[in-house]
Chains A and B, each alone.
Chain A
Amino acid sequence: MSTKYPEGANRMNMKWSRWKTVLTCAFLALAIVVCDARTASALPTGKVMAIPAFARKYGLPCSACHTAWPELNNFGQVFRDNGYQLMNDRDSPIWQNPSYFPISFRITPAWHRETANNQVFDGPGGANTAIGNVTQSGFDLSGMDLWSAGTIYKNISFVLLPSSDPTAVWHFESAFIRFDNLWHSPWLNVKFGRFELDNLISEKRFLFLSGNGGSYQIYHFTPPGDVNNFGFGDNQIGVELAGHSANSYTRYSVSVVSSNEGGVNFTTDVLPGAPPGNRTYDVNLAFSQAFNAPGPPGESGFGQERIGAFAYIGQRPTGYQTEGGGTTQLVGIDNKPFYRVGFAADLSYKNLELMPLFMYGHDNAYLGTAALGISSADPLPTGAQAPTFYGGFLEAHYYLNPQNVALARFEQINVGQQAFANSGNGSSSNGNITAYSFGYRWYPIMFSRGGVALDGEYSRVRTIGEVPLSGDGDGIVGNPNNAVWSSSIYFGIDFDF
Chain B
Amino acid sequence: MTLKKYAVTFALGSVALLTAGATVSIAQSHVNSPDPLLGAPSVATETSNVAGVTGHAESGKHLYRRFCIGCHGPDGNGQGMNAQWIDPQPRDFTEATFKCRSTPTGTLPTDEDLYNAITRGFVTTNMPSWRPLNPQQRADLVAFIKTWSPRWAKEKPGAVLNIPPETPITIESILHGRELFQKLECWKCHGPEGHADGPSASTLTDSKGVPIKPFNFSTGERFMCGSTNRDLYRIFMTGLDGSPMPSFADVIQPNDAWDLVHFLRTLQVALPNQELTLWQTYKAAHGKDLKPIGPDSAGGAQ
Q: How far is the CA of A8 from the CA of B4 in the complex (A)?
A: 9
Interface of A is mostly: mixed
- Give complex CA distance A19, B5 in Å: 12
C-alpha spacing A31/B81, complex, angstroms? 28
Smallest Cβ-Cβ distance to A22: which chain B residue: B10
Q: Are A444 and B28 in contact (CB under 8 A)?
A: yes
User: Is there contact, CB below 8 Å, between A402 and B70?
Assistant: no
Contacts of A8 in B (CB 8 A): 2-3
Given contact pairs A41-B36, A294-B136, A299-B56, a sample of 16 additional A-B residue pairs in the complex whose CB atoms are under 8 Å apart:
A19-B6, A23-B6, A23-B10, A26-B10, A42-B36, A43-B65, A44-B31, A44-B32, A45-B31, A45-B36, A46-B30, A61-B67, A111-B12, A248-B132, A292-B134, A456-B17
Q: Is the CB of A493 within 8 A of B129?
A: no
A60-B10 in contact (CB<8A): no
- Cα A96 to Cα B56 in complex, Å, equals 36
Does residue B74 face the partner (Cβ distance < 8 Å to A)?
yes
The chain A residue with its CB closest to the CB of B60 is: A300
Cα of A75 to Cα of B136 in the assembled complex, Å: 15
Q: Is B232 an interface residue (CB 8 A)?
A: no
Contact string, A134-169, partner B, CB cutoff 8 A, digits 1/0?
Answer: 010101000000000000000000000000000000
A113 close to B134 (CB less than 8 A): no
Interface membership of A35, Cβ < 8 A: yes
Q: Are B32 and A42 in contact (CB under 8 A)?
A: yes
In-complex Cβ contact of B70 among A64, A78, A248 (8 A): A64
CB-nearest residue of chain A to B69: A43
In the complex, whether B80 has a CB less than 8 A from a CB of chain A is: yes
Where the two chains meet, the residues of A that have a C-beta atom closer than 8 Å to any C-beta of B are: 6, 8-9, 16, 19-20, 23, 26-27, 30-31, 34-35, 38-39, 41-48, 58-61, 63-64, 74-75, 77-79, 86-90, 96, 111, 113, 115, 133, 135, 137, 139, 246-248, 292, 294, 298-301, 304, 401-402, 444-445, 447-448, 452, 454, 456, 489, 491, 493
Known contacts A9-B2, A88-B123; decide if A300 and B28 are in contact (CB<8 Å): no
Which residue on chain A has the smallest CB distance to residue B74?
A45
Q: Are B34's CB and A16's CB within 8 A?
A: no
Q: Say which size band chain B's interface belongs to.
A: 35 or more
With A45-B74, A46-B30, A88-B128 known as contacts, the answer to whether A493 contacts B56 (CB < 8 A) is no
On whether the beta carbons of A113 and B3 are closer than 8 Å, the reply is no
In the complex, the answer to whether A75 meets B67 with C-beta atoms within 8 Å is yes
A86's nearest neighbour on chain B, judged by CB, is: B128
Closest to A6 in B: B2
A452–B126 Cα gap in the complex (Å)? Answer: 24
| CB-based contact B21/A34 at 8 Å | yes
- Of the A-B pairs whose beta carbons lie under 8 Å apart in the complex, a sample of 18, sorted by A's number, is A8-B3, A20-B6, A27-B17, A30-B14, A34-B18, A38-B35, A39-B28, A42-B31, A45-B74, A46-B32, A47-B84, A59-B70, A78-B132, A88-B129, A247-B131, A447-B81, A448-B82, A454-B20
Q: Which residues of B contact A75 (CB under 8 A)?
A: 67, 130, 132-133
Q: Within 8 Å of chain A (Cβ to Cβ): is B24?
A: yes
Within 8 Å CB of B33, what residues of A?
A: 42
Partner of B1, one of A74, A96, A135, A300: A135
Q: Which residues of A contact B140 (CB under 8 A)?
A: 300
Chain B residues in 8 Å Cβ range of A247: 131-132
Interchain CB contact under 8 A, B59 and A111:
no
A88 to B36, CA, bound (A): 29
B221 within 8 Å of A (CB atoms): yes
- Nearest CB in chain B to that of A48: its residue: B31
- Mark each residue of chain B from 86 to 112: 1 if its CB lies under 8 Å from any CB of chain A, else 0: 110000000000000000000000000
Chain B residues, CB < 8 A from A23:
6-7, 10
Q: How far is the CA of A301 from the CA of B55 in the complex (A)?
A: 10
Is B293 on the interface with A (CB-CB < 8 A)?
no
When the two chains form their complex, are residues A96 and B85 in contact, meaning their CB atoms are under 8 A apart? yes
Per a CB cutoff under 8 Å, which of A42, A47, A456 touches B28?
A42
Q: Report the separation of the CA atoms of residues A493 and B2 in the bound assembly, to the nearest whole angstrom.
A: 28
CA distance A77 to B133 in the complex (A): 11
Task: Name the contact of B221 in the complex, choosing from A89, A137, A445 (C-beta under 8 A).
Answer: A89
CB-CB nearest 5 A-B residue pairs: A34-B21, A46-B31, A44-B31, A61-B70, A43-B36
Given that A43-B36, A137-B9, A444-B27 are contacting pairs, would A89 and B124 also be in contact in the complex, using a CB cutoff of 8 Å? yes
* Given A23-B10, A137-B9, residue A59 in contact with residue B85 (CB < 8 A): yes
- Name the CB-closest residue of B to A39: B34
Q: Which residue of B lies closest to A139 (CB)?
A: B16
The answer to whether the Cβ of B66 comes within 8 Å of any Cβ in the partner chain is: yes
**Interchain CB contact under 8 A, B1 and A115:** yes
In the docked arrangement, what's the CA distance between A27 and B11, Å?
Answer: 9
A298: chain B residues within 8 A (beta carbon): 54
Q: How far is the CA of A446 from the CA of B205 in the complex (A)?
A: 33
Give Cα A427 to B26, complex, Å: 56
Which residues of chain B are within 8 angstroms of A35 by Cβ–Cβ distance?
21
Chain B residues with CB under 8 Å of A86's CB are 121, 128-129
The digit string for B30-47, where 1 denotes a CB below 8 A from any CB of A, is: 111111100000000000
The distance from the CB of B130 to the nearest CB of chain A, in whole angstroms, is 7
